[in-house]
Chain A
Amino acid sequence: MAAQVSAVPEPVLATRELGKRFGGVVALEALTLAVAPNEILGLIGPNGSGKTTFFNVVTGIYPADGGAVTFDGRDITRLAPQGVYRAGIARTFQRSRLSLPLSIFDNIMVGNHKRLTQGLWFNLFRRRAFRREFEESYARARELVAVFDPPLADRMFEAVEGLPMIDRRRIEICRALISRPKLLLLDEPSAGMTHDETTQLMDDILQVKDSLADLTIIIIEHEMGVIERITDRCAVLNFGRKICEGSYQEVAADPLVQEAYLGLE
């Protein structure tokens, strides 16, 4: 797993001197980061170090104050979230953002937006074609959910609000994956789960990644065991700055990192 990629020739995602401040708070400071194709990058750092903000700026929820983001060789710094998604980046949210009154299937289809036919005429009157699209989408969504939890795949038309947190996290990841993004951003996917559930979720993520030809993942995660096991490389943030980058072993041994964690926890 630990394919060492220190010099990245053609990164999938690259940020240069990325900055973001909220009033007086500097959430990201001159962050330069490159993510290689097909790697799993762990983004770690104490609470409030800017990890979520990094995702929010990359996905266009917040405009960057300075710097640039390049995805797939294309400048996406100024793109709105819609454009970022269409370019091939999908994400999950730290605080789960599923639509609770909707079914599992509906929630996953939200993530499939760019692959579904959106014309009014098609949707209202070409019901046979719509049905084909619906059945295909159902089959794909079901297959994806089954990787994470086969019993859940038999409950696709149940409301999400009745499900436990682990299932919600799984569905959120499926929602992000269904459109076949090139880059998946996972913001603390195991938050609120037990140790065993976390282990299982990570296995599932690895399994999905293996089954998809071209998928790069950035994962924000607190549990160091998880980081060690699934990431190829890590970047550590503290007060919005990257203080260290490298394999888990390198990062864990770094005195700055130890200080950042000890100093705050």
Chain B
Amino acid sequence: MQPKTGERPSLWPGLLGIAGVAVYLIVFLMIESQVGVAVLLVGGAAAVVLAARFGALERMRTSFAGREGSMDIAVPAAVLALVLVFHQDHFTLLLVATVMIFMTASLGLTVQFGFAGVLNFAGAAFLGIGCYTAAVLTKNTGLSHLLVILAGGVMAALIGGLLLYPVLRTRGHYSAVITIAFTLLFKTFLEVNDALGGPQGLRVDGLNLFGWAFNDNIALTETVELSFYTNYVLASLVLVCLGFAFLRRLDRSWIGLNMDAVRLDETASACFGYNISRWQITAFTVGNFLIGMAGALYAMMLGFIAPTNFTFGDSLILVSIVLLGGIGNPWGIAVATTIVIVLPEKLQMIQEYRFLLYAAMVILILLFRPRGLLPRPLRAYFPGWQPK
């Protein structure tokens, strides 16, 4: 329960939890045998159930809520530890960076759907807009790559603006259908557009920040070399941390409250002066901006993009992350993205059935835990704040 004034919850449950998850992930990523992966999965699920049963999860939650500053350092530190362990493993580092890029995009979707209740099934399209913006800008201009990433966000936000009118004019399911149509349209548009490479897609230059070429391996000593994907892990870590910080600020302000109010009851909020579309537009734009930035970085990391990367299925993955994680809770997004992206990569036997798996997960969650794996906590404008 709520700690009394002056009494801060212990750091240890949170730190141990982070360490446990990090070690588990490292083993999980290392293991090759499918049997081993399956055993680990069952073991992990059992550990979570046991931890919940004996109150360990609750203590971790308290620790995360009450010692936010420390957790904010510990979690990225755990990611760095992961990088050190896998410093030469291209495949794993690419996977880790991909997870964090999808986290950033899902954070954008969280603002839209989790906060303001604007359903967006065009997540992959906005990711794609970021990607193609990066491809075009790196190829045709000498723009600083930092600005290219920003431009990816701006383009996604602007093109999202075109969708705003029909999305906000229609209600509920209909606006969802419009975003679905947009995803399909976007892919077709890419396929027939030769300037954007058509179905073959486009090459994208690697990220280069102030002379730091991200596509070169990092030679630490004569013998030790870090995979160049380390660069991208660091870049995506920075991006996701910024997204996280931004989301939190937003949530802990009147804007976060406004978005909640508009989502939960339009009639009541209209009776208290809310300009409903203003907050929906803000959420949609800001969310697409985050998704677009994630896309720009994604494209530069992949080095090659094609219309098949941005299908409706990919949009569904983003939506299922938000539903699975805990609608509106950024920590939930972190957990859910890791599960949704990593699982099919390691479990090759389910690769082909990955959408089946996502669908099953979403249905189970909606049935048995409608608020997601990590439900969103009540708003604390200033964590630890006590009335005088």
Most chain A CB neighbours (cut-off 10 Å) among B257, B258, B272: B272
- Chain A-chain B contacts (Cβ-Cβ < 8 Å), number: 95
- Nearest A residue to B380 by beta-carbon distance? A157
Complex contact A103–B378 (CB within 8 A): yes
A156 to B267, CA, bound (A): 24
Proximity string of chain A (93-120) to chain B, C-beta cutoff 8 Å, 1 when within and 0 when not = 1000111111100100111011011101
Known: A101-B264, A131-B382, A157-B378. A59 touches B257 (CB 8 A): no
CB distance from A152 to the nearest CB of B (A): 14
Most chain B CB neighbours (cut-off 10 Å) among A85, A111, A118, A142: A118
Most chain A CB neighbours (cut-off 10 Å) among B253, B270, B273, B274: B273
Known: A82-B270, A86-B273, A138-B387. A110 touches B250 (CB 8 A): no
- Give the size of the chain A interface in residues (CB under 8 angstroms): 42
Complex contact B265–A175 (CB within 8 A): no
Proximity string of chain B (343-384) to chain A, C-beta cutoff 8 Å, 1 when within and 0 when not = 000000000000000000000000000000000001111100
Complex contact A110–B268 (CB within 8 A): yes
Write out the residue numbers on chain B whose beta carbons fall within 8 Å of the beta carbon of A90: 271-272
Write out the residue numbers on chain B whose beta carbons fall within 8 Å of the beta carbon of A102: 257, 260-261, 264, 378-379
Complex contact A106–B273 (CB within 8 A): no
| CB contact between A99 and one of B255, B261, B271, B382 (< 8 Å): that residue | B261
Proximity string of chain B (306-339) to chain A, C-beta cutoff 8 Å, 1 when within and 0 when not = 0000000000000000000000000000000000
A159 interface residue per 8 A CB criterion: yes
- Give the size of the chain B interface in residues (CB under 8 angstroms): 28
Complex contact A142–B387 (CB within 8 A): yes
CB distance from A184 to the nearest CB of B (A): 12
Write out the residue numbers on chain B whose beta carbons fall within 8 Å of the beta carbon of A252: none
Complex contact B269–A110 (CB within 8 A): yes
Complex contact A110–B257 (CB within 8 A): yes
| CB contact between A93 and one of B254, B268, B269, B381 (< 8 Å): that residue | B268
A123 interface residue per 8 A CB criterion: yes
CB distance from A183 to the nearest CB of B (A): 13
A80 interface residue per 8 A CB criterion: yes
Known: A106-B379, A118-B254. A85 touches B271 (CB 8 A): yes
Write out the residue numbers on chain A whose beta carbons fall within 8 Å of the beta carbon of B250: 123-124
Complex contact A82–B378 (CB within 8 A): no
A159 to B378, CA, bound (A): 7
Complex contact A130–B378 (CB within 8 A): no
A51 interface residue per 8 A CB criterion: no
A201 to B75, CA, bound (A): 49
A61 to B272, CA, bound (A): 12
The 7 closest A-B pairs by CB, nearest first: A123-B253, A99-B264, A81-B270, A85-B273, A97-B268, A113-B273, A81-B271
24 example contacts (A-B, Cβ-Cβ < 8 A) are as follows: A61-B271, A81-B270, A81-B271, A82-B274, A90-B271, A97-B267, A99-B264, A101-B260, A102-B260, A102-B264, A106-B378, A110-B257, A110-B261, A110-B268, A110-B269, A110-B272, A110-B274, A113-B269, A113-B274, A118-B255, A123-B254, A124-B249, A134-B381, A158-B378
What is A's interface to B at a CB cutoff of 8 Å? 59, 61, 80-82, 84-86, 90-91, 93, 97-103, 106, 109-111, 113-114, 116-118, 120, 123-124, 127, 130-131, 134, 138, 142, 156-159, 175, 179
